[in-house]
């Protein structure tokens, strides 16, 4: 009889421990704010489009880009600087097409099957920027973002100050908004 009581007492203690553990899990679950976890993940993630411009691998925030299209036909603009190639019809909108590589590095971007036009807004107006190729969208973690003064030694000075370091390469963060602060870029008229 005493053995039965001891087994019953052990079973009760085991059940209590299990119930205590379940209660603890329930309390921890109820105290977890799902909205806060989603906000934290959003803060720690940085979504960008990754692309190549000459020998430079770059990214820019996805919210700075309206769309990416294959290199379109365009109409030249008389009196425009060479890097301002012309105007393209993009879904019924006239979009200036600028060869960003030509503007920054002084040599024309070769047009290949991989050449793309990144359509963005500069000073509230659509602008098309020619790049060598676009690799797609990439999610970065903000912990991998580092300031990199080495970009100041390139023609990208002022446009790239930070980069994401990944196992494959370093992606310079191109701030397209800085182009609107460049008077040379904003004035595409030739002065000859």
Q: Is residue 191 part of a domain?
A: no
**pLDDT at 100 (0 to 100):** 96
Q: Is residue 129 part of a domain?
A: yes
For the stretch 158-190, pLDDT in tens is: 899 999 998 889 999 999 888 888 899 999 888
Q: How many domains does the chain have?
A: 2
Residues 67 and 142 in one domain: yes
By C-alpha distance, which of 120, 138, 136 is closest to 45?
A: 138
State the chain's mean pLDDT as an integer.
86
Give residue 20's domain range: 2-32
**Three-state SS letters, the chain:** CHHHHHHHHHHHHHHHHHHHHHHHHHHHHHHCCHHHHHHHHHHHEEEEEEEEECCEEEEEEHHHEEEEEECCCCECCCCECCCEEEEEEECCEEEEEEEHHHHHHCCCCCCCCCCEEEEEEECCEEEEEEECEEEEEEEEEHHHEEECHHHHHCCCCCCEEEEEECCCCEEEEECHHHHHHCHHHHCCECCC
Residues 28 and 51 in one domain: no
Residues 93 and 174 in one domain: yes
Residues 13 and 73 in one domain: no
Q: Give the CA count within 13 Å in the CB-facing half-sphere of 42.
A: 6
Average pLDDT over residues 139-161: 90
**pLDDT at 40 (0 to 100):** 46
**pLDDT at 123 (0 to 100):** 86
By C-alpha distance, which of 145, 136, 160, 135 is closest to 43?
A: 145
Residues 75 and 137 in one domain: yes
Assign 17 a pLDDT band (cuts: 50, 70, 90). Answer: confident
Q: Is residue 63 part of a domain?
A: yes
Residues 79 and 123 in one domain: yes
**pLDDT at 124 (0 to 100):** 87
Question: Does this model's pTM top 0.85?
Answer: no
Residues 103 and 10 in one domain: no
Residues 57 and 27 in one domain: no
**pLDDT at 25 (0 to 100):** 62
Q: Is residue 69 part of a domain?
A: yes
Residues 24 and 54 in one domain: no
Q: What percent of the chain has pLDDT over 70?
A: 82
Residues 111 and 170 in one domain: yes
List strands edge to edge, sheet with 145-147: 133-141, 45-53, 56-61, 170-174, 160-165, 145-147
């Amino acid at each position: 009889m005493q053995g039965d009581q001891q087994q019953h007492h052990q079973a009760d203690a085991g059940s209590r421990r299990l119930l205590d553990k379940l209660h603890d899990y329930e309390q921890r679950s109820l105290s977890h704010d799902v909205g806060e976890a989603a906000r934290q993940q959003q803060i720690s993630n940085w979504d960008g489009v990754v692309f190549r411009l000459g020998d430079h691998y770059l990214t820019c925030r996805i919210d700075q880009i309206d769309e990416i299209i294959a290199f379109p036909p365009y109409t030249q603009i008389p009196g425009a600087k060479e890097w301002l190639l012309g105007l393209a019809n993009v879904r019924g909108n006239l979009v200036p097409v600028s060869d960003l590589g030509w503007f920054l590095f002084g040599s024309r971007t070769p047009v290949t099957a991989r050449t793309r036009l990144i359509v963005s807004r500069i000073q509230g107006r659509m602008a098309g920027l020619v790049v060598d190729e676009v690799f797609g969208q990439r999610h970065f973690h903000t912990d991998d973002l580092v300031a990199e003064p080495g970009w100041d030694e390139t023609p990208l000075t002022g446009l790239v100050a930070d980069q994401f370091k990944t196992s494959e390469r370093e992606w310079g963060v191109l701030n397209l908004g800085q182009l609107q602060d460049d008077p040379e870029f904003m004035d595409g008229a030739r002065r000859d």
